[in-house]
Amino acid sequence: MIETDILIIGAGPTGLFTVFEAGLLKLKCHLIDALPQAGGQCSEIYPKKPIYDIPAFPEILAGDLVDNLMEQIKPFEPGFTLGERAETIEKLEDETFIVTTNKGTKHHAPIVAIAGGLGSFEPRKPPIPTITQFEDNGVEYMIREPEIYRNKKVIIAGGGDSALDWAIFLTNVASDVTLIHRRNEFRGALDSVEKVQELKNKGKIRLITPAEVTEIIGNTNVTGVQVNEKDKEPYTLETDHFIPLFGLSPKLGPIANWGLDIEKNAIKVNNALDYQTNIPGIYAIGDVNTYPGKLKLILCGFHEATLMCQSAYKRIFPDKKYVMKYTTVGGVEGFDGSKKEAPKAVVKAIK
Amino acid sequence: MSDINIKITDREGVTHEIVAPTDMAMNMMEIVRSYELAPEGTIGVCGGMAMCASCQCYVLSDHELPEMGVDEDMMLAEAFYVEDNSRLGCQIPITPELEGLEIKLAPES
């Protein structure tokens, strides 16, 4: 069981900044995210795109914003459960919560802060009839254990970086690698595209473009797929695995069943006070919440996180007196023993 | 006033006749969101960067639209339910030339 003060669901910018504000109040944080890396949309969708409305940053790349936040919160030693999706929540008699992920990891905290953005990122499934019945029987939407493809025939569909990168990687594992894309052009990184070209020339990757997989063949396990290639009659290709890699899209997912008030795919919160949901002790901050006048901006998420932490502190320590202190005055004392503070004025007499 | 009239068929098949401003730097995806013709979180997911295809629509009238950029083209190459008349709503700015435009939203995917 992972124990923490504030359990944050979602490791995007809002979730990450929460660690900092909580740290100033000596509260420890642990973050859960379905993606394998921190940063949320900023890392997953647009790491190389600039953002212009972060206060005091005339321009910053989304990926750099995440790097900076990770640096800023490092002294507060946040814990991470990455690549797992928060699945269920249970309120105990002492008003604390246990959140369990899809992989069974349990987290215990007096405060839950949902900073889930638009939801957890799920693989986009191509609209092929019967595809769901082959899931884990030869159809995989992401590659978790490359070894299962050892000496197998593999067909990958997609035209982005993950399709290219995995096609390249699997040439050293699988007996047979085919890459199918609807276009002749790929939009992945240039060196990946060139590498695939090279492997194609060497006969290590079979490239079928422009083409589309329209059907999956097999009884319980995949034995082949039907391919629609331009200007050809549809034909069947034998394969052991079909891996469609068409990116990820966010879905609110299991959080929608936690008994929270939901409106327009977002969680209703009390914005006059502390961004608490209808369940005391559960807060929702950043893009995942809604209230009159809500704007889905990173800078608004930062503000919401700050107020939410103050409320969380009062909930955990109802009798403690506290006043907010400027970091310039109080410095930043990390849980790792580090201390940042403003340099003291130097006084020296002039003779 | 510099508004234009557009017909948008939502994912349930209901056609809405709406008025869209040409002077607000809005695009078709934002028009759909402003009229709430698709639930929040199911359209404009990436905010309008041509990186998610959640605003894919089919152009039904024969208006001449601005040419497709590389980002839009490559995103549609990976989207689902793509037809010859598919476009990304976020890449269609609302201009006076689009008076009378008719579009249909592509299914959610």
CA A256 to chain centre: 17
Is the model's pLDDT at A65 over the cut of 90? yes
ipTM: 0.81
User: Both tokens of residue A171?
Assistant: 């040439």
Cβ-defined contact of A265 to B46 (cutoff 8 Å)? no
Please name the residues between 291 and 350 in chain A that touch chain B, using a CB distance below 8 Å.
none
Paired with A226 in beta bridges are A215, A236
Is the model's pLDDT at B2 over the cut of 90? no
Q: Report the pLDDT value the prediction gives residue B40, as an integer from 0 to 100.
A: 85
Closest CA in chain B for residue A297:
B47
Closest CA in chain B for residue A117:
B41
What residues of B are in contact with residue A117 (Cβ under 8 Å)? Answer: none
Select the residue of A125, A183, A249 nearest B45 (Cβ to Cβ).
Answer: A249
Q: Report the pLDDT value the prediction gives residue A191, as an integer from 0 to 100.
A: 92
Is the model's pLDDT at A46 over the cut of 90? no
Cβ-defined contact of B78 to A158 (cutoff 8 Å)? yes
Cβ-defined contact of A159 to B78 (cutoff 8 Å)? yes
Q: Report the pLDDT value the prediction gives residue A280, as an integer from 0 to 100.
A: 95
Closest to A247 measured CA to CA, from A118, A144, A123:
A123
pLDDT digits (tens, 9 = 90+) for A141-173: 988 889 999 999 999 999 988 899 999 999 999
Q: Report the pLDDT value the prediction gives residue A39, as an integer from 0 to 100.
A: 96
CB-count exposure of residue A167 (10 Å: 0-12, 13-18, 19+) = buried
What residues of A are in contact with residue B39 (Cβ under 8 Å)? Answer: 264-265
pLDDT digits (tens, 9 = 90+) for A222-267: 999 999 998 999 999 999 999 999 988 888 889 999 999 999 889 9
Exposure b/e, A304-318, CB count within 10 A at least 16 = b: bbbbbbbbbbebbee
| High-pLDDT (> 90) share of chain B, % | 82
The C-alpha of A263 sits at a distance from chain B's nearest C-alpha, in angstroms, of 9
Average pLDDT, chain A: 94
Q: Report the pLDDT value the prediction gives residue A298, as an integer from 0 to 100.
A: 97
Q: Spell out the alpha helix ranges (H) of A151-254.
A: 161-170, 190-201
Cβ contacts below 8 Å, chain A against chain B, sum to 56
pLDDT digits (tens, 9 = 90+) for A193-231: 999 999 999 999 999 999 999 999 999 999 999 999 989
User: Testing the interface with B: which of A43, A45, A193 to mutate, by most B Cβ within 10 A?
Assistant: A45
Mean pLDDT over A24-44 rounds to 95
> Strands A205-208 and A211-218: what pairing?
unpaired
Torsion region of A264: left, alpha or beta (phi above 0 gives left; psi -120 to 50 gives alpha): left
The C-alpha of B45 sits at a distance from chain A's nearest C-alpha, in angstroms, of 8
Is the model's pLDDT at A2 over the cut of 70? yes
Is the model's pLDDT at B60 over the cut of 70? yes
For A314-330, the DSSP string reads: HHH-TT-------HHHH
Read off the DSSP letter of residue B37.
-
Cβ-defined contact of B74 to A185 (cutoff 8 Å)? yes
What residues of B are in contact with residue A185 (Cβ under 8 Å)? Answer: 74, 77
Is the model's pLDDT at A282 over the cut of 90? yes
pLDDT digits (tens, 9 = 90+) for A86-122: 999 999 999 999 999 999 999 999 999 999 998 988 8
Q: Report the pLDDT value the prediction gives residue B1, as an integer from 0 to 100.
A: 58
The C-alpha of A288 sits at a distance from chain B's nearest C-alpha, in angstroms, of 10
Half-sphere exposure of A314 (CA within 13 A, CB side): 11
What residues of A are in contact with residue B38 (Cβ under 8 Å)? Answer: none
Average pLDDT, chain B: 93
A83/B contact by beta carbon, under 8 A: no
Select the residue of A41, A183, A264 nearest B40 (Cβ to Cβ).
Answer: A264
Amino acid of residue A174 = A
The C-alpha of A141 sits at a distance from chain B's nearest C-alpha, in angstroms, of 14
Q: Report the pLDDT value the prediction gives residue A236, as an integer from 0 to 100.
A: 96
Cβ-defined contact of B46 to A41 (cutoff 8 Å)? yes
User: Testing the interface with B: which of A118, A209, A251, A287 to mutate, by most B Cβ within 10 A?
Assistant: A118
